[in-house]
Every structure is written in structure tokens, then in C-alpha cells.
Structure 1
Amino acid sequence: MSEDKSLCMVEAINLALHRAMQDDPDVVVLGEDVAGNGGVFRATVGLHERFGFRRVMDTPLAETLIAGISVGMAAQGLKPVAEIQFMGFIYAGMEQLISHASRLRSRTRSRLSCPMVVRTPHGAGIHAPEHHGESTEALFAHIPGLRVVIPSSPRRAYGLLLAAIADPDPVIFLEPTRLYRSVQQRVRDDGKALPLDSCFTLREGQDLTLISWGAALKETLEAAALLAEQGVDAEVIDVACLKPLDSQTLIASVSKTGHCVIVHEAARSYGPGAEIAALLQEHAWQALRAPILRVTGLDCVIPYARQELAYLPDVQSICQAARAVMNGEQL
């Protein structure tokens, strides 16, 4: 029987990759430095030694090639898990992801599917250079045929990655860089996948719904605890899968509380929060007792280290928005 181990997120991802490759010989891993060096964040450490060069492959520094090869592998029966070193480098591969991976099932009338996963570090907060802290999940959530998954803890990273690898269609798996080694959690290597397309309720509440995902959940949960001290009972929802969206869980929560704040570090304009707010306005409007507010990143390129924290939503801004919603005010 497997035992629980205290793991950080990057270790939980590594564990899930080991489990998936052990259980399914069709799973292969590819990307820049994933074999010899174990990946830039060491998420693939030990895979090459255990499974060999035919299943763990270093590629050239060419994201278009990585995405294109993965589509070809997936179309011919393999289950590639491709690593893009940082989300800011994924744009070169978008032609393959949008024009081919997402369309392969519809193009062939389901004769072919595309069971591939693209893993990439996601989000700001580690004082990295330009292109190393992107939060552009809305680009992929807009594309029909792509799933977009963002874990927020080691345990969910393990279960959601197993589910993504087993999924018959392409999944963009965004791993919050800020959480890679900052949080430890007990994880059991039992091979059990968590459900895709589902939100997770991290905290029950009656007065207010706080909706977030990825690294921003850290500040969201801290804000909920602070609000509780001030007499506001906040429910916290981890979206986890941005596309397809678990609308039922979100609608049920807001229908209960009547108040909602959405938190994300992606830029505000046309961000995922706007889509969620529109969904709730359409389906839970009778329960809403105040306008839905968003606490988001700014409409600018994520700044360098000195100003990076000023870009990210913080506990104070979340609490400020929550108090405004509870008082029926605008920010």
C-alpha cells in the first residue's frame, strides 16, 4: 500500500509523471533539458534513468518543433507530455496547438484524437526575467478543443496531471511557478486521478464567494481567513480547470452567498474573470445582492523584479474588494 509523503508541487508533478509512465508504456516525455538535466525546475528528475532515451527525450530549443512533434506522436497512438520551459516561450508553438492539436478530432470526425499534454511554468512572483512570468491562460481558454488546467497545491497537481495525461484530447497544464517549492502537502502515490472540468471548494462560507485559481489562491485563502476575523464568512472556490468551466459549482456558490469577488493575476481586460462574471450574471443574477468585482493583474507586461509585487493581487486588495461587495459599493 502506498504511503503519504510530504511533497512540494514540483515533486508531486515528478511523482505523477513516474506513475503515468510506469502504468502506461505509451506515455513519453519530451522537452528542452528534460532528460539530461531533469528540466529547468527538476520536474523530470529520474525519468530518463528509469525509462530510457526512447521515452524521455531532450529536444532542440524550438517550441514549434516540440508542439508539432507532440501532435504527430499523439495522432499515432502515443501520449506525449511536452515541457515548455516557461510560459513566455509557448507562443512559438501556438500555431501547432491552435491549428492542429485542438482541431484534430473535429478535422478527422473523431477518427483521430490528440492525447497530448503541454506542461509549462505559469505566473509571476519569482523575480524572473521577461517572458518567464506570463499569466496568459485566457489565450488558450478561448480555443475550442483545448483543456486548460491550473493546479493550486501538490495534491491537486498530482491528481490533475494524471487525469490530463489520461485524457484523449489536448490539455494545457499550467504549473504556478510561485508554488513549485513554497508549499508542502501530504501526497499519496496511489495513481488516482482527480476529475477534470471540476472546481474545488476549499472553504465553505455563507456570505461571500471568492473565486480564484493557481498561485493567487494563496492570497485568496489568506484574505478569507482575515475576513472571517471581521465577521465575513467567505467561501473559496478553486476553479482548477478554466476550460471547460465547471459552471454548476460556481453558480451554486454565488446563488447561496449572493456576493462574489474573482481574483486572478492575468491581465484584467478580456481575462478569465470577465467570462466567469458574465456566466454568473446570466445564471445567478436573481441571487446577486451586489455587483461582481474583480481583483486582477494590470493591463501591462508583467514588470521586472523591483515592481513585480505591485502587479500581483494581494491580500489587502482582495479584502478591500470583499468589503466593497458586502457594502454594495464599487471600487
Structure 2
Amino acid sequence: MASMTMIEAIREAHDVAMAADDRVVVFGEDVGFFGGVFRCTAGLQQKYGKSRCFDTPINESGIVGTAIGMAAYGLKPVIEIQFADYVYPAYDQIVSEAARLRHRSNADFTCPLVIRMPTGGGIFGGQTHSQSPEALFTHVSGLKVVVPSNPRDAKGLLLAAIEDPDPVIFLEPKRLYNGPFDGYHDRPVTSWKKHPMGEVPEGHEIVPLGKASITREGADVTVLAYGTMVYVAEAAAEATGVDAEVIDLRTLLPLDLDTITASVEKTGRCVIVHEATRTSGFGAELMSLVQENCFYHLEAPMIRVTGWDTPYPHAQEWEYFPGPDRVGEALKKVMEG
């Protein structure tokens, strides 16, 4: 085991994958010489050379399009979009080319491509550095969508994504990059109660895509969350005293519906938490799936706790985030149903 932040764990996953397979190439804006704006690729160019870790122009469509061609050729590109907000110029390449390549070629070609993107708020980056666009990708057949919440999962899920034969959108919550998060404050704390620092295995250990994790067991209500919101949900449960079972989805596509339905059938209640805007957010899909699969087990209406339906507010970032108080109110309300 080694003590790592999420940044260090992501860097380690790159290193392990590149050492094991010379088809793995890493590129994007500032990822080579500088090591990435968040330093997730620091040292890789020095270790593996400029042909395997290199910088690109500021051209997201070109970055993704180049990576798709390389993947079809037989390489395994891992690209970084500097912020998730910057991906929109490349959206057509992702949807029309990467996601469809296997099917439109009758499996003659695949697209083993990983697109890494820092996501969410927490750095006061305003509207162009803080968005959570996961729902735009979960709607697209042919993609996988991953959101880790801790260093061990970040490393293991990234290794699994690199080894997957199809394109994976890998969203990294910025608030979790540099250390533990207690659910209330944007600052490191001494340890994570459920995912302590120092428990990241060295070497090659994957976390399978499509498998959720129960981070807090409970009997009264199921809370579905991912990324930063896992810790917000845990903090709300502890503050309210509600015996909540918190599920860290980890992978949004493919979704671990078996774990979700088993929990909701046990608790009879469900609260869904995500940072992205409410309307057409991924929580709506989760609510539909729970309704379709667990209707006769539900004892109260489900509740979503989300970001606002507004362009990302710079000055009111912390009011925009679902916090333990808002989640706690939802837990108490669903228990009254």
C-alpha cells in the first residue's frame, strides 16, 4: 500500500499502464512538459518520452479526433481535456465517431479510448471551469462513464478504463484531487472515515467498471451518490442520525442496478444526490430506474438533491452545491413519508 492523493493515484495508474503496454499513449493540453494543470501526468514525459506523452494545441475536437484514429489503428490513447467544460467542441467526435465505431464497423474496429476530465466545482472557477456534464454522456449508447470518489478507486477504475476495448469518459471531481473531503468544507481533513489515505495498492489492481460500492450501510433510506457527493451524503446521515445506506455508484454507465435495487428493496426509501443541475440530470434517470424496479417496495416518494437550474454561479458556488444541510432535510422528509 502507498499513501496517495487522487492526483497521485491517477498519475500512478498512467505509469502502471504505460509500463505494461507500450500502446498506451497520453496527450492533451499541457500534459507533457508541464504535467497537466492539476499535475496528474507529471513526470510521464520525462520517463516515457515525447512520443508517448506529449502536448497538443488548444483544440479539443482535434485532440479527440486524433485519439479516435489512433485507437482504431490499435493504440490505447488516454487523453486529458483540461476541464470538462472544454469538451463541447469535441462532443460530435465523441458521439458520432468514438461511441459508434464498434457498431458501425460490425466490430471490425473498436475504440479503446479514455477521455479524462476534471469535473465539478470547488475552485471558484466560474461558469467555464466548474460544470458537471455527466448526463450528456450517459445518454450516449456506446460510451462508458466513470466518476471515482477516492484515490484507490481512481487508480483502479482508470486502469480498468484503459484496458476496456470501448471509449470511457473518466470524470475526476476537482474537490477530491488534493486530499480528503469531510462533506462540509473545501479543505483536507486528517483522514477519510470510509476511504482512508494510505490504502492505495501499489502495482496493478483494477476496480471493475459497472460495480457500485456501499460506503455506509443502513436500513432506513438508500442514498445514491457519486464523486464528491458521496461524502456530503455520509456527512448528512451522520448529522441527522438517519440510518442511511450510502451507495457510491462509481460507474454511471454501465450502472450497477442490482446493488441499487437490493438496497432500495431493503430500505423502502431513496434519496438521490448530484452536483449537476436538476433538470434532465442523471438523478432523473436513477429515479426512473428505481421507480420501474422497486415501485412496490417504496414507502415514500423519492427525493432529488441537486445543483440549481442556472448557469454555474461563481459568487454563490457553495450555495449551489448540495450540502449536508440540504441532503439532511431530504433524509428527514423522506423518513416522514
TM-score, length-scaled by structure 2: 0.94
Match of 1:236 in 2: 246
- Which shows bigger deviation, 214-223 or 148-157? 214-223
Quick one: distance in 1 between partners of 2:84 and 2:286?
A: 23
Instruction: Write out the 4+ residue segments of structure 1 that deviate beyond 2 Å after TM superposition.
Output: none
Quick one: distance in 2 between partners of 1:189 and 1:56?
A: 22
From 302, 306, 314, give the equivalent of 1:292: 302
Quick one: distance in 1 between partners of 2:320 and 2:201?
A: 35
Structure 2: segments with no counterpart, 5+ residues: 181-195
* 2:182 is the counterpart of 1:185: no
Quick one: distance in 1 between partners of 2:24 and 2:197?
A: 26
Counting only pairs closer than 5 Å after superposition, residues 307-322 of structure 1 correspond to structure 2 as: 307-322=316-331
How far apart are residue 179 of structure 1 and its match? Answer: 0.6
The superposition leaves residues 146-198 of structure 1 with CA deviations (integer Å, 9 ceiling, x where unpaired) of 10000000110010000000000000000000110032622112301001011
How far apart are residue 131 of structure 1 and its match? Answer: 1.2
Give the secondary-structure state (helix, strand or coil) at the position aligned to 1:263.
strand
Counting only pairs closer than 5 Å after superposition, residues 197-208 of structure 1 correspond to structure 2 as: 197-208=210-221
* Count of residue pairs the alignment pairs up: 321
From 157, 163, 166, give the equivalent of 1:166: 163
Match of 2:38 in 1: 41
* 2:30 is the counterpart of 1:16: no
* 2:267 is the counterpart of 1:257: yes
* 2:106 is the counterpart of 1:109: yes
Match of 1:221 in 2: 234
Partner amino acid, structure 1, of 2:121: A
Quick one: distance in 2 between partners of 1:144 and 1:123?
A: 23
Quick one: distance in 1 between partners of 2:265 and 2:20?
A: 42
* 2:334 is the counterpart of 1:325: yes
Match of 1:275 in 2: 285
- Which shows bigger deviation, 123-132 or 6-15? 123-132
Contact 1:121–1:174 at 8 Å: present in 2 too?
yes
Match of 1:27 in 2: 24
Quick one: distance in 2 between partners of 1:73 and 1:227?
A: 51
The superposition leaves residues 99-145 of structure 1 with CA deviations (integer Å, 9 ceiling, x where unpaired) of 00000000100110000000010001211133100111000000000
From 60, 75, 81, give the equivalent of 1:78: 75
Partner amino acid, structure 2, of 1:250: I
Quick one: distance in 2 between partners of 1:288 and 1:302?
A: 33
How far apart are residue 287 of structure 1 and its match? Answer: 0.8
TM-score, length-scaled by structure 1: 0.96
Contact 1:151–1:214 at 8 Å: present in 2 too?
yes
Partner amino acid, structure 1, of 2:50: F
